[in-house]
């Protein structure tokens, strides 16, 4: 069924009648069901049984509906009972990357990098609040006036953020950052034009020879997606520990330990931060530490881990350029409360990090790796960084598409010696600049 089919009756001349009928039948269904036995019943059998009950309840209401309207109503009520209500059908479209509910009656999606409004609506603010509560309660979190915003996740790993009044002035706001059921692989993003095969070979080598990599970029540029893809190159023989605010990484290796932060309880106690988890991780004999996103004082502990034998670590950071990523990292180290001199912080960063990969989302919605940069050390009080690959933008085509090309800078990176020691061979011409 297409996304809009279930909302067809809503868009017709009687949306209020439809919503009230759906709410009434849903209430009656809840009264009749024994939810404690659901775990023992197969999903297909359960859906058929509930569809039969709903059909009986519709007939009891004696409201004339066409066969299509009746089918749509049954689907909507199933979504209302087990899913995310009116936005549940959007989760089945693999091309939708973001679902953004600004108000109960204003829903946008991002598809192929472009935002568009969809003709779907919740019943009212309370209806949207019920769906938000259903999402966050499944992972042991809560959202109410005392804790009016929350990060959560869906079963498929999609990232969820909700913020409610009094902080959200126009009613509850729900933002879902999608992750596909089948995570993207390196060949997929090469096909999408995010990077070239030569860049992919270099990044694969960086992971395999245990370089410390920081992935930077703005919101929605694909940092977590790239982190997932690069993690595939970590050997199965290594013990990986992931640390996230809201678990969304989808690692395929067998030996993975996943850790997630915990917000404070209703009394303001019991909080577990990323910094707490990073420090605990060092006692867990990790081969690789992957921090989903570094955003605070854990930056200091992460850098110290990289500098004390935990090579091959990966993380992401929000920044506008690769150079800005290092500046933000300095600020985050200061957030740890340590009164360190600026030069000492920069030396920690220069010693710990090997490669910064910077992503950008173009005006046409495409995502590109615009810089792969190597950190080579310090000169005075400045961290020295040299670009290995760069995306050179030429302009905008008549179809609105960004015109540009990936180019090696002609610099042979210092980490090639580590590649050689690790038995990773790359053809020398990979780093030779070509004429446009």
Higher pLDDT, 11 or 401: 401
pLDDT of residue 35: 52
C-alpha torsion 139→143→149→154, nearest 10: 30
Lowest mean per-residue pLDDT among 53-67, 172-186, 290-304, 353-367: 53-67
CA angle 26, 31, 36 (to 5 degrees): 105
Which SS3 state, helix, strand or coil, does residue 241 take?
A: strand
Lowest mean per-residue pLDDT among 95-99, 138-142, 355-359: 138-142
Distance CA 224, CA 31 (A): 42
Q: What is the pLDDT of residues 18-77, one digit of tens each?
A: 667 767 776 776 666 655 555 545 666 766 777 777 777 777 777 676 777 767 777 777
CB–CB of 128/171 below 8 Å?
yes
pLDDT of residue 230: 94
Higher pLDDT, 184 or 372: 372
The CB-side HSE value for 205 (13 A sphere, CA atoms) comes to 21
Q: 101 falls in which pLDDT band (50, 70, 90)?
A: very high
Determine the longest span between alpha carbons in the chain, in angstroms.
82
CA angle 379, 390, 317 (to 5 degrees): 70
Same fold across 89-180 and 186-431 = no
Q: 155 falls in which pLDDT band (50, 70, 90)?
A: confident
Fold of the domain built from segment(s) 89-180: Beta-Lactamase (3.30.450)
Q: What is the pLDDT of residues 236-248, one digit of tens each?
A: 999 999 998 877 7
Distance CA 331, CA 335 (A): 7
Q: What is the CATH number of domain 186-431?
A: 3.40.50.300
Q: Residue ranges per domain, the chain?
A: 1-82, 89-180, 186-431
Residue 32, number of CB atoms within 10 A of its CB = 11
Query: What mean pLDDT is reported for the chain?
Result: 84
Section 281-298 average pLDDT: 90
What one-character-per-residue DSSP string does 381-403 give?
TEEEEEEEEEEEEEEE-TTSPEE
């Amino acid at each position: 069924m297409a996304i809009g089919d279930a909302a067809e009756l809503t868009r017709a001349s009687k949306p209020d009648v439809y919503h009230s009928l759906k709410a009434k039948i849903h209430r009656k269904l809840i009264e009749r069901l024994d939810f404690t036995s659901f775990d023992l019943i197969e999903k297909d059998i359960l859906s058929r049984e509930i569809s039969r009950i709903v059909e009986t309840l519709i007939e009891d209401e004696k409201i004339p509906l066409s066969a299509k309207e009746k089918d749509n109503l049954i689907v909507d009520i199933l979504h209302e009972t087990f899913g995310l209500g009116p936005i549940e059908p959007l989760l089945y479209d693999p091309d939708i990357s973001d679902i953004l509910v600004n108000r109960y009656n204003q829903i946008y999606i991002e598809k192929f990098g472009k935002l568009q409004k969809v003709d779907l609506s919740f019943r009212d603010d309370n209806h949207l609040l019920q769906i938000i509560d259903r999402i966050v309660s499944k992972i042991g979190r809560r959202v109410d006036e005392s804790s009016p915003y929350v990060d959560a996740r869906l079963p498929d790993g999609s990232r969820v953020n909700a913020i409610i009044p009094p902080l959200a002035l126009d009613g509850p706001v729900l933002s879902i950052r999608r992750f596909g059921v089948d995570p993207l692989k390196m060949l997929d993003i090469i096909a999408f034009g995010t990077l070239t095969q030569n860049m992919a070979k270099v990044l694969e080598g960086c992971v395999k020879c245990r370089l410390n990599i920081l992935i930077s970029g703005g919101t929605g540029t694909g940092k977590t997606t790239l982190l997932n893809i690069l993690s595939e190159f970590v050997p199965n023989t290594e013990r990986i520990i992931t640390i996230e605010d809201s678990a969304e990484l989808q690692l395929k290796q067998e030996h993975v330990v996943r850790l997630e932060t915990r917000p404070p309880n209703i009394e303001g106690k019991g909080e577990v931060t990323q910094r707490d988890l990073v420090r605990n991780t060092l006692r867990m004999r990790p081969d690789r530490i992957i921090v989903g996103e570094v955003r605070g004082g854990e930056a200091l502990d992460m850098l110290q881990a990289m500098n004390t034998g935990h090579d091959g670590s990966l993380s992401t950071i929000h920044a506008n350029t690769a150079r800005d990523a290092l500046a933000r990292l300095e600020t985050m180290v200061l957030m740890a409360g340590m009164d360190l001199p600026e030069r000492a912080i920069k030396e920690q960063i220069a010693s710990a990090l090997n490669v910064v990969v910077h992503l950008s989302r173009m005006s046409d919605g495409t995502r590109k790796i615009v810089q792969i940069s190597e950190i080579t050390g310090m000169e005075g009080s400045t961290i020295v960084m040299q670009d290995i690959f760069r995306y050179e933008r030429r302009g905008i085509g008549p179809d609105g598409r960004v015109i540009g090309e990936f180019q090696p800078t002609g610099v042979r990176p210092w980490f090639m010696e580590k590649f050689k020691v690790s038995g990773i061979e790359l053809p020398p011409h990979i780093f030779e600049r070509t004429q446009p």
